[in-house]
Amino acid sequence: MEFLLTLRRRGISDAAVLRAMDEVPRERFVDADMVGNAYVDQALPIACGQTISQPYVVAYMTEQLGLRPQDRVLEVGTGSGYQAAVLSRLAQQVVSIERYRTLADKAKERLAALGYDNVDVIVGDGLEGAPDRAPFDRIIVTAAGSTVPQALVDQLTEGGVMVLPLGSPNGPQQIVRLTKGEGGTLERHDLIAVRFVPLLPGKAREL
């Protein structure tokens, strides 16, 4: 299949990640008028002025998380729910936070329709994480901020991994992988250049 071939050619090699990308139907996470482009390797617009990420970036960040079947994962930025769906195939439990209720409700509906019942979508401010559900073995942020949210570091287990885009809203951003060591130290690896919508504080006022 062309979709998987493109991911492989771009360097995604983890068999479990490729299987998850193959299994999750991206056309179910895009708007009706975008279905024709569901398997093109590009980000697409969704409601509330947001985007569903490019498949390559979804696969890349997922691969960088190094998920194990027993992992509890936190995602900040549910959007369409597509990244959460991919995570749900590779981990035990996924908690995903979205600041727009409209997007969260739609994502919930899609995930339920596909039977991906190990994902909980929450409406809230992802900058605060989900303290009542913490700690998490893996955290992924799918919107770009300029600094690492401390609440998320606090909610990561020792040995845990966080993957997030860091940079300025309209300028250069890169994917960063942080590994939390003993005593809370963070080991940082800077990875590929990306473009994400901004990570914004607070629940969205409009729907």
168 is catalytic: no
Binding ligand SAH by CB under 6 A: which of 97, 130, 166, 175? 97
- Cα–Cα distance, 207 to 199 (Å, whole number): 17
Residue 49 burial (10 A CB sphere; 0-12, 13-18, 19+) = exposed
143 makes contact with ligand SAH (CB under 6 A): yes
Residue 159 burial (10 A CB sphere; 0-12, 13-18, 19+) = exposed
64 makes contact with ligand SAH (CB under 6 A): no
200 makes contact with ligand SAH (CB under 6 A): yes
17 makes contact with ligand SAH (CB under 6 A): no
User: On the CB side of 156, how many CA atoms lie within 13 Å of its CA?
Assistant: 28
Q: How far is the CB of 131 from ligand SAH (least distance, A)?
A: 14
Q: Which amino acid is at 198?
A: P
Catalytic residue numbers, as ranges: 53
Positions touching ligand SAH (CB under 6 A) are: 50-53, 76-77, 79-80, 82-83, 97-100, 103, 125-127, 142-143, 197, 199-201
